[in-house]
């Protein structure tokens, strides 16, 4: 073969290079076009783009110029590839296209804070180069795709704030050593936390799920951990100790609160846990609240990181004294050890904690004087020492707290005068000194324009004297004023009409005289007015008729005379609001039992001296009762420092096997539930466990077995069992759970046999653990459930043979039967009221709050009315609050505990921040409603929110009754039936108050 000329070789080589380059360019162009097609497929799955974020997509052929898209560098030999797709907080809705899995060069995918729904596409597991994946704060459902385990270089995984369920896939959780951030918080994930070594893990954020089991010991290998946030789950076992934290010098945030963890040595020793944290020199926040932990705070707590700024130990069973070592944590800004059983004095050296901003010591057994050094802490904004046994005077040094917003010292045994120096707390918003033994006059300037920010003042149940200062009219921001049950005298100042924001006014139980000024009629926001048990005279102000929000008045046991005005609050007030005023009469068509008709034959003459003696006696009795409460006689405490309660009911007529109920033996119940096997367990709570089973006749039942203390029970099993039987035996309503029978077997077996509710509880509907149930409710079903619960509660409060306060109303205690009818269940801590009493007076001891069966918190955090935490008696108004929280939860899809413990707000406060101008934001990410937010009638949702907020007002008297709630739901349902977009029918979700048939 002849040799090829040099020129020919050169030409051939150039041709080869040209063809190779052409093929590379063509391949690059093809890959680039594949990325473009994937992006357009993603856009096609977006059903809502209110901000027009994707308007540029497709308009320009250059995909790298599209909003949110970042490409790799462009060179002559290669086409651009998509490496980042970041579209956050744009209100995008729809589903994510699986085509995103074709973006083979993608390194960052961030679609957080949108409204995407559906399932997370498993095709995302094909993104082999992906390092950062964030789909947080959307509405994704279903399980976490196991295909994400195929992403070998993933460093950041954030799926928090969605509706994900199922278990955490171990293959994803334990995928290699690259993962640094795992965020699966605020979902409905169940199962255990996978155990595997994660040497590079820096952030583990799993709060607010349904995770069970213990904290994996394998986390001790994650020595780079900075955040370990596992709070608000169902974790069990002991608090980590020993070597768990030995190598975690960088740990900053450790939150294990609101689980079911125990301390060492059978829940009696906290020292091993605190000792294990002494090597965590970077620790800044520590939370182990709400675990029912027992033991004492060990001295070693003072050896925790000097940089510790927040310590949360509240809602436990910690006893003993406050150790002086705790005072060595000089950088603490928040110290919360409230709701425990701490005793002894508050250490005088607490004033050395000069950086404290919040001091929570309430609801303990602390005694002695309040250290004056507290008043020297310059940044204190909240001081809550309420519900203790503190004595002595309020330190005058408190006047130096210039940043103080909240001062709560109520329900102690404090004496002496209110310090005049408190008027120097110019930022004060809430002042509660009630239920003490304070004497003297209200300091000049305390109720004046000098404290313009005060919105809540409660000085009730003390021994205060003197007149109400006329300067009170300068307090334009004041919303609630309670001066009841003192020894105040003189007249009610007309200047009171200047308190234009006042909603609640209680001046009862004093020795006030003169007339009730007409200027009270200027209080357009007033909802509750109580001036009973005084010596007021003259006529009732006609101006009150025109107050649009006034719902409750009480003028009883005074010296009022003349005609009771017609209209307004006068028209719908009960007759007992006017009793004890012999000079009063009614006119026209009004009927008021106990009051004569003006000029009629039935007018009775009563000796004025008798009335005067009666009024004086009632006033003295009111003051004496409050003084007794201040002296601590209303809550009995045993020798072990824990609260106890008096017997509330006589059970002489109690039968554990009521007549007409079938007798079922322990053996049959054991057979029905497979020996109470774990596989039959469908629910668990503080007092017991619930198993599903089948009786010998084929009846499907739920068996609630109350736990004996030695088997994990609370120690109040017998009382809880009797209480629930007592309620269920004496009440019957279609919206209350029906008991089939009960079973007691010696020595310690107690069980309730109930119909099996195949649709589970309302909580399981909202937050299904295993994916078997459909999540959420339609608006029609929401209204129906709300109506059912309201009917059941209205029956208990107003129409049952024995009036009942439930005390623990929440979604897990609302069951759904085969027809999705809601029934109220779990009356283990219910309270029974006097049968012939319409004023909700409590039978038995005056102080048996819903959280005091054993001194532990029995009402549920987030649903419990705020007055219960302040020592309030169980009341129907407390149940109304719980109903309101549940209604707001249905609307927003937010658990109240999430809002309280993660945002520092109640659910009421969170919703109030948005209502009424941003109602769309309230329901935008709701997981409770199956309709899209745009399909919901805005006016109807606003009315529902209004009702929820009304029920959750802080002041109990201003909340509606359950009968009024029923009426509002009925009206709202009728309005919805007329709405063109509504699916609610007139028959579904309507409340009725016809209870005579039950």
928 against 26, higher pLDDT = 928
The string of DSSP letters for 558-593 reads SEEEEEPPPSHHHHHS-GGGSTT-TEEEB-TT---T
For residues 18-42, give the mean pLDDT.
Answer: 66
Fold of 434-633: 3.80.10
pLDDT at 95 over 70: yes
**Residue 749 burial (CB count, 10 A):** 15
Burial of 799 (0-12, 13-18, 19+ CB in 10 A): middle
HSE-up (13 A, CA, CB side) for residue 923: 29
Q: Are strands 203-205 and 227-229 parallel, antiparallel or unpaired?
A: parallel
The string of DSSP letters for 389-449 reads EEESPPPGGGGG-TT--EEE--SS--EEEPPGGGGG-TT--EEE--SSEEEEEPPTTTTSG
For residues 767-782, give the mean pLDDT.
Answer: 66
The predicted pLDDT at position 247 comes to: 87
Task: Give the Cα separation of 557 and 518 in Å (integer).
Answer: 20
Q: Which of 121, 103, 133, 125 is nearest to 34 (CA)?
A: 103
Fold of 21-117: 3.80.10
For residues 85-101, give the mean pLDDT.
Answer: 93
The predicted pLDDT at position 368 comes to: 97
pLDDT in tens, 941-953: 888 888 998 899 8
* Coil, helix or strand at residue 553: strand
CA 359 to chain centroid = 21
The predicted pLDDT at position 205 comes to: 94
pLDDT at 638 over 50: no
In eight-state DSSP terms, residue 731 is -
**Residue 732 burial (CB count, 10 A):** 12
- Domain 434-633 shares a fold with domain 760-998: no
Which segment, 232-246, 391-405, 582-596, is predicted with the most confidence on average?
Answer: 391-405
CA dihedral sign of residues 263, 265, 271, 277: negative
pLDDT at 572 over 70: yes
- CB contact at 8 A, 523 and 500: yes
Q: Whole-number mean pLDDT of the chain?
A: 79
Task: Give the Cα separation of 189 and 206 in Å (integer).
Answer: 9
Task: Name the percent of the chain lying above pLDDT 90.
Answer: 43
Q: Poorest-confidence range of 173-182, 301-310, 632-641, 916-925?
A: 632-641
pLDDT in tens, 872-911: 577 889 999 999 999 999 988 888 866 654 555 678 888 8
| Residue tagged active-site, from 110, 363, 384, 808 | 808
> CB under 8 Å to 605, separation ≥6 — which residues?
none
The predicted pLDDT at position 239 comes to: 93
Characterize 514-533 residue by residue with b for buried, 16 or more Cβ atoms within 10 angstroms of its Cβ, and e for exposed.
Answer: eebbebbbbbeebbbbbbbb
> CB under 8 Å to 296, separation ≥6 — which residues?
270, 318, 319, 320, 321, 323
For residues 452-457, give the mean pLDDT.
Answer: 86
For residues 753-766, give the mean pLDDT.
Answer: 81
> CB under 8 Å to 873, separation ≥6 — which residues?
842, 846, 847, 848, 849
Is 704 annotated as a binding-site member? yes
- CB contact at 8 A, 835 and 812: no
849 against 68, higher pLDDT = 68
Fold of 648-756: Phosphorylase Kinase; domain 1 (3.30.200)
pLDDT in tens, 124-162: 999 999 999 999 988 899 999 999 999 999 999 999 988
Before 916, cis peptide (omega within 30)?
yes
Q: Poorest-confidence range of 517-521, 591-595, 701-705?
A: 591-595
pLDDT at 625 over 50: no
- CB contact at 8 A, 457 and 481: yes
What is each CA distance from 166 to 198, 209, 769, 926, in whole angstroms?
22, 11, 6, 20
Fold of 760-998: Transferase(Phosphotransferase); domain 1 (1.10.510)
pLDDT at 93 over 70: yes
Q: Which of 485, 537, 542 is nearest to 510 (CA)?
A: 485
pLDDT in tens, 402-451: 989 889 999 999 999 999 999 999 889 889 999 999 999 999 889 987 88
The predicted pLDDT at position 875 comes to: 85
Q: Poorest-confidence range of 313-327, 560-574, 631-645, 682-696?
A: 631-645
Task: Give the Cα separation of 205 and 197 in Å (integer).
Answer: 16
Burial of 668 (0-12, 13-18, 19+ CB in 10 A): middle
In eight-state DSSP terms, residue 931 is S
Before 451, cis peptide (omega within 30)?
no
pLDDT at 850 over 60: no
Backbone angles phi, psi at 952, to 5 degrees: -105, 25
- CB contact at 8 A, 930 and 777: yes
632 against 942, higher pLDDT = 942
For residues 355-378, give the mean pLDDT.
Answer: 95
Characterize 391-416 residue by residue with b for buried, 16 or more Cβ atoms within 10 angstroms of its Cβ, and e for exposed.
Answer: beebbbbbbbbeebbbbbbbbbbbbe
Structural domain boundaries of the chain?
A: 21-117, 434-633, 648-756, 760-998
Report, in this order, helix, strand and coil percent for the chain, each rounded to 5.
30, 20, 50
Which segment, 15-29, 581-595, 955-969, is predicted with the most confidence on average?
Answer: 955-969
For residues 700-726, give the mean pLDDT.
Answer: 61
pLDDT in tens, 642-669: 332 222 222 222 233 333 456 677 788 8
pLDDT in tens, 103-115: 999 999 999 989 8
Task: Name the percent of the chain lying above pLDDT 70.
Answer: 77
Angle between helix axes 779-794 and 876-892 (nearest 10 degrees) is: 170
Q: Poorest-confidence range of 233-247, 326-340, 508-522?
A: 233-247
What is each CA distance from 464 to 436, 441, 461, 625, 719, in whole angstroms?
10, 6, 9, 15, 40
Q: Which of 520, 439, 487, 785 is nearest to 616 (CA)?
A: 487
For residues 328-336, give the mean pLDDT.
Answer: 93
- CB contact at 8 A, 124 and 109: yes
Task: Give the Cα separation of 894 and 522 in Å (integer).
Answer: 38
In eight-state DSSP terms, residue 355 is T
pLDDT in tens, 268-297: 999 999 999 999 999 999 999 988 899 999
CA 430 to chain centroid = 21
Task: Give the Cα separation of 723 and 77 in Å (integer).
Answer: 81
153 against 575, higher pLDDT = 153
The predicted pLDDT at position 623 comes to: 42
- CB contact at 8 A, 410 and 437: no
The predicted pLDDT at position 723 comes to: 61
Confirm whether pTM is higher than 0.85: no
Query: For residue 532, what pLDDT band results from cuts at 50, 70 and 90?
Result: very high
The string of DSSP letters for 34-55 reads HHHHHHHHHHHTEEE-TT-TTT
Q: Which of 544, 611, 619, 548 is nearest to 584 (CA)?
A: 611
Q: Which of 871, 729, 727 is nearest to 806 (CA)?
A: 727
- CB contact at 8 A, 357 and 335: no
384 given a catalytic annotation:
no
Q: Which of 993, 997, 995, 986 is nearest to 784 (CA)?
A: 986
Q: Where are the alpha helices (DSSP H) in 2-139?
A: 6-44
- CB contact at 8 A, 867 and 762: no
If you count DSSP H runs as helices and E runs as strands, how many of each does the chain have, helices first? 17, 49
């Amino acid at each position: 073969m002849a040799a090829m000329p040099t020129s020919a070789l050169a030409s051939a080589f150039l041709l080869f290079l040209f063809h190779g380059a052409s093929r590379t360019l063509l391949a690059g162009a093809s890959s680039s076009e594949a990325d473009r097609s994937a992006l357009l497929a993603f856009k096609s799955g977006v059903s809502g783009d209110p901000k027009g974020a994707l308007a540029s997509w497709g308009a320009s052929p250059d995909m790298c110029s599209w909003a949110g898209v970042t490409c790799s560098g462009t060179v002559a030999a290669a086409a651009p590839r998509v490496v980042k797709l970041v579209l956050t907080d744009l209100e995008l809705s729809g589903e994510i296209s699986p085509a995103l899995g074709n973006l083979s060069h993608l390194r960052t995918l961030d679609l957080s804070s949108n409204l995407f729904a559906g399932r997370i596409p498993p095709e995302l597991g094909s993104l082999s180069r992906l390092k950062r994946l964030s789909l947080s704060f959307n509405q994704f459902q279903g399980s976490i795709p196991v295909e994400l385990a195929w992403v070998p270089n993933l460093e950041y995984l954030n799926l928090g704030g969605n509706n994900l369920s199922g278990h955490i896939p171990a293959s994803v959780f334990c995928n290699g050593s690259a993962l640094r951030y795992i965020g699966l918080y605020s979902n409905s994930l169940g199962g255990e936390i996978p155990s595997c070594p994660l040497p590079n893990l820096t952030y583990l954020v799993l709060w607010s799920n349904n995770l069970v089991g213990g904290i994996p010991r394998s986390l001790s290998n994650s020595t780079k951990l900075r955040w370990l946030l596992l709070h608000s789950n169902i974790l069990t076992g002991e608090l980590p100790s020993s070597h768990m934290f030995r190598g975690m010098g960088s740990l900053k945030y450790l939150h294990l609160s609101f689980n079911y963890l125990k301390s060492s040595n059978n829940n009696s020793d906290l020292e091993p846990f605190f000792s294990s944290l002494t090597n965590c020199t970077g620790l800044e926040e520590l939370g182990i609240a709400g675990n029912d932990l027992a033991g004492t705070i060990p001295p070693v707590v003072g050896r925790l990181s000097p940089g510790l700024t927040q310590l949360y130990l509240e809602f436990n069973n910690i006893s003993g004294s406050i150790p002086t070592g705790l005072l060595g944590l000089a950088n603490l800004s928040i110290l919360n050890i409230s709701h425990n059983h701490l005793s002894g004095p508050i250490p005088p050296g607490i004033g050395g904690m000069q950086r404290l901003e919040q001091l929570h010591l309430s609801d303990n057994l602390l005694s002695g004087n309040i250290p004056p050094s507290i008043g020297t802490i310059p940044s204190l904004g909240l001081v809550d020492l309420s519900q203790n046994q503190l004595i002595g005077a309020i330190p005058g040094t408190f006047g130096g707290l210039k940043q103080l917003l909240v001062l709560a010292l109520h329900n102690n045994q404090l004496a002496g005068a209110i310090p005049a120096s408190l008027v120097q707390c110019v930022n004060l918003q809430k002042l509660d000194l009630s239920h003490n033994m304070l004497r003297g006059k209200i300091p000049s300037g305390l109720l004046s324009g000098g404290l313009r920010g005060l919105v809540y003042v409660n000085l009730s149940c003390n021994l205060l004297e003197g007149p109400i200062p006329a300067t009170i009219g300068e307090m334009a921001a004041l919303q609630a004023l309670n001066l009841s049950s003192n020894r105040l005298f003189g007249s009610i100042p007309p200047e009171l009409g200047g308190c234009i924001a006042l909603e609640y006014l209680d001046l009862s139980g004093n020795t006030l005289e003169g007339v009730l000024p007409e200027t009270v009629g200027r209080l357009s926001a007033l909802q509750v007015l109580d001036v009973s048990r005084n010596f007021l005279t003259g006529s009732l102000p006609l101006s009150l008729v025109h107050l649009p929000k006034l719902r409750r008045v009480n003028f009883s046991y005074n010296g009022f005379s003349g005609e009771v005005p017609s209209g307004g609050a006068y028209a719908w007030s009960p007759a007992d609001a006017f009793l004890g005023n012999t000079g009063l009469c009614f006119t026209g068509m009004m009927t008021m039992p106990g009051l004569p008709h003006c000029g009629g034959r039935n007018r009775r003459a009563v000796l004025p001296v008798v009335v005067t003696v009666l009024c004086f006696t009632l006033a003295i009795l009111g003051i004496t009762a409050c003084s007794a409460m201040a002296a601590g006689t209303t809550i009995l405490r045993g020798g072990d420092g824990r609260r106890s309660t008096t017997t509330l009911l006589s059970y002489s007529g109690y039968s554990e096997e009521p007549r007409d109920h079938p007798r079922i033996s322990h053996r049959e119940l054991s057979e029905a539930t497979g020996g109470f096997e774990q596989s039959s367990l469908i629910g668990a709570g503080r007092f017991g466990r619930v198993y599903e089973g089948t009786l010998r006749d084929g009846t499907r039942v739920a068996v609630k077995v109350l736990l004996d203390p030695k088997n994990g029970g609370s120690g109040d099993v017998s009382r809880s069992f009797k209480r629930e039987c007592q309620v269920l035996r004496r009440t019957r309503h279609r919206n209350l759970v029906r008991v089939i029978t009960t079973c007691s077997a010696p020595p310690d077996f107690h069980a309730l046999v109930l119909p099996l509710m195949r649709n589970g509880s309302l909580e399981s509907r909202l937050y299904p653990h295993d994916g078997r149930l459909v999540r959420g409710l339609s608006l029609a079903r929401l209204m129906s459930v709300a109506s059912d619960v309201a009917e059941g509660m209205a029956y208990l409060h107003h129409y049952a043979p024995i009036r009942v306060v439930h005390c623990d109303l929440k979604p897990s205690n609302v069951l759904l039967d085969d027809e999705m009818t809601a029934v109220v269940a779990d009356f283990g801590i219910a309270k029974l009221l006097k049968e012939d009493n319409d004023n909700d007076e409590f039978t038995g001891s005056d102080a048996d709050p819903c959280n005091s069966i054993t001194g532990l918190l029995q009402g549920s955090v987030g649903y419990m009315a705020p007055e219960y935490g302040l020592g309030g008696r169980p009341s129907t108004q407390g149940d109304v609050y719980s109903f309101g929280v549940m209604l707001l939860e249905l609307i927003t899809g937010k658990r109240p505990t999430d809002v309280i413990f993660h945002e520092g707000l109640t659910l009421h406060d969170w919703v109030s921040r948005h209502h009424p101008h941003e109602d769309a934001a309230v329901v935008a990410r709701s997981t409770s409603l199956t309709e899209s937010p745009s399909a919901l009638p805005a006016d109807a949702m606003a009315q529902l929110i209004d009702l929820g907020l009304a029920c959750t007002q802080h002041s109990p008297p201003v909340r509606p009754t359950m009968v009024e709630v029923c009426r509002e739901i009925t009206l709202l349902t009728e309005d919805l039936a007329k709405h063109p977009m509504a699916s609610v029918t007139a028959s579904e979700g309507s409340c009725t108050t016809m209870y005579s048939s039950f």
